């Protein structure tokens, strides 16, 4: 079974736990996720099984959408409600209006630099940052460029603010909450997070673990999962070369119709692999067994 499952992850379980549960339910040899989701968060987690694990890197880079709730007046060491409060502001002194919050939020749209939280899986000298943080060690993290495509206030019930955020890969919602709190001068931390969209996948076409394997509308073929990529159909000598994992020349005709990353298909419409335009040829990034 080579499929991509659009899972609505439950609160309190790790992404690894979710993958293990799916692997047992579907009795598959191999499974993995295309982009982690913290235990505190719920929502979309794409899980790839067997041969579909090869396409996970082409799904993890898709833009994402979140509903994130933060509490103003408190900063924590993890930037979320599971951490230790390290700074507190008297709640009664919070006199912000929605327009004040909206003005600050808009400053965080577009391309921004974001410092990853210490409690993250990013590695420093081969060790995940969260392991160093648990040992009481804090290291300097380099800012990363991320893109906030849109951010709007969905609810405002002081001291809680809920935002709907569309963003690029690698954006930390916990860091965004912390940074907004710092900009307001009162601190903030994330109290809830729902991932509602990954590329063309939406929470409406996902399934809870308890609904699997019966909810087939949450299961996608590799080709359907990659529908955001352009495709080309190959035959003849090019088809033979691709099946052997060899690059194919980028003809003038192809150069007018393909982008950098493309789906390679046989005359019957079956997915052969993923190609990448490199100079005057198409290099095979992933070869799919059919």
> What pLDDT, in 10s, does the model give residues 212-235?
999 999 999 999 999 999 998 988
Least-confidence region, from 57-61, 202-206, 231-235: 231-235
Dihedral (Cα; 155, 61, 269, 287), 10-degree rounding? -150
Range of the structural domain that residue 255 is part of: 231-287
CB atoms closer than 10 angstroms to residue 35 = 19
Do residues 191 and 213 both lie within one domain?
no
Do residues 133 and 242 both lie within one domain?
no
Do residues 238 and 171 both lie within one domain?
no
Do residues 149 and 206 both lie within one domain?
no
Do residues 191 and 68 both lie within one domain?
yes
Which is more confidently placed, 6 or 259? 6
Do residues 30 and 119 both lie within one domain?
no
Do residues 184 and 217 both lie within one domain?
no
pLDDT of residue 254: 62
What's the total number of domains in the chain?
Answer: 3
pLDDT of residue 50: 96
Mean pLDDT over all residues of the chain? 90
- Which CATH number belongs to the domain containing residue 246 in this structure? 2.30.130.10
pLDDT of residue 256: 58
Active site residue 38: yes
Do residues 279 and 261 both lie within one domain?
yes
pLDDT of residue 258: 67
- Which CATH number belongs to the domain containing residue 32 in this structure? 3.30.2350.10
Q: 189, 222, 255 — which closes off a domain?
A: 222
User: How does pLDDT run across 27-57, given as a tens digit for each residue?
Assistant: 999 999 999 998 999 999 999 999 999 999 9
Do residues 215 and 109 both lie within one domain?
no
User: How does pLDDT run across 129-183, given as a tens digit for each residue?
Assistant: 777 777 777 777 788 999 999 999 999 998 999 999 999 999 999 999 999 999 9
Do residues 124 and 193 both lie within one domain?
yes
CB atoms closer than 10 angstroms to residue 112 = 17
Do residues 168 and 252 both lie within one domain?
no
Q: Which of 10, 17, 38, 266 is catalytic?
A: 38
Do residues 89 and 144 both lie within one domain?
yes
Q: Contact 6/197 with Cβ under 8 angstroms?
A: no
CA 144 to CA 65: how far, in whole Å? Answer: 19
255 falls in which pLDDT band (50, 70, 90)?
A: low
């Amino acid at each position: 079974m080579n499929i991509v499952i659009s899972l609505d992850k439950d609160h309190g379980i790790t992404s690894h736990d979710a993958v293990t549960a799916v692997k047992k339910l579907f009795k598959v040899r191999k499974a993995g996720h295309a982009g982690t989701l913290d235990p505190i968060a719920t929502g979309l987690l794409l899980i790839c099984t067997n041969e579909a694990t090869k396409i996970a890197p082409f799904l993890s880079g898709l833009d994402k959408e979140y509903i994130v709730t933060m509490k103003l007046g408190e900063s924590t060491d993890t930037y979320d409600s599971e951490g230790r409060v390290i700074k507190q502001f008297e709640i009664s002194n919070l006199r912000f209006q929605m327009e004040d919050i909206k003005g600050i939020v808009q400053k965080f749209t577009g391309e921004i630099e974001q410092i990853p939280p210490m409690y993250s899986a990013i590695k420093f000298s081969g060790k995940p940052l969260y392991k160093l943080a648990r040992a009481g060690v804090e290291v300097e993290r380099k800012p990363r460029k991320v893109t906030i495509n849109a951010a709007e206030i969905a609810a405002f019930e002081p001291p809680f603010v809920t935002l709907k955020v569309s963003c690029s890969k690698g954006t930390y919602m916990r860091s965004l909450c912390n940074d907004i709190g710092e900009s307001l001068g009162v601190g903030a931390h994330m109290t809830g997070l729902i991932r509602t969209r990954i590329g063309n996948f939406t929470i409406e076409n996902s399934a809870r673990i308890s609904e699997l394997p019966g909810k087939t509308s949450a299961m996608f073929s590799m080709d359907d999962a990659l529908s955001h990529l352009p495709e080309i159909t190959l035959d003849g000598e090019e088809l033979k070369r691709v099946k052997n994992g060899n690059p194919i020349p980028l003809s003038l005709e192809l150069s007018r119709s393909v982008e950098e990353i493309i789906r390679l298909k046989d005359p019957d419409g079956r997915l052969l692999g993923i190609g990448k335009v490199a100079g005057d040829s198409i290099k095979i990034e992933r070869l799919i067994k059919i």
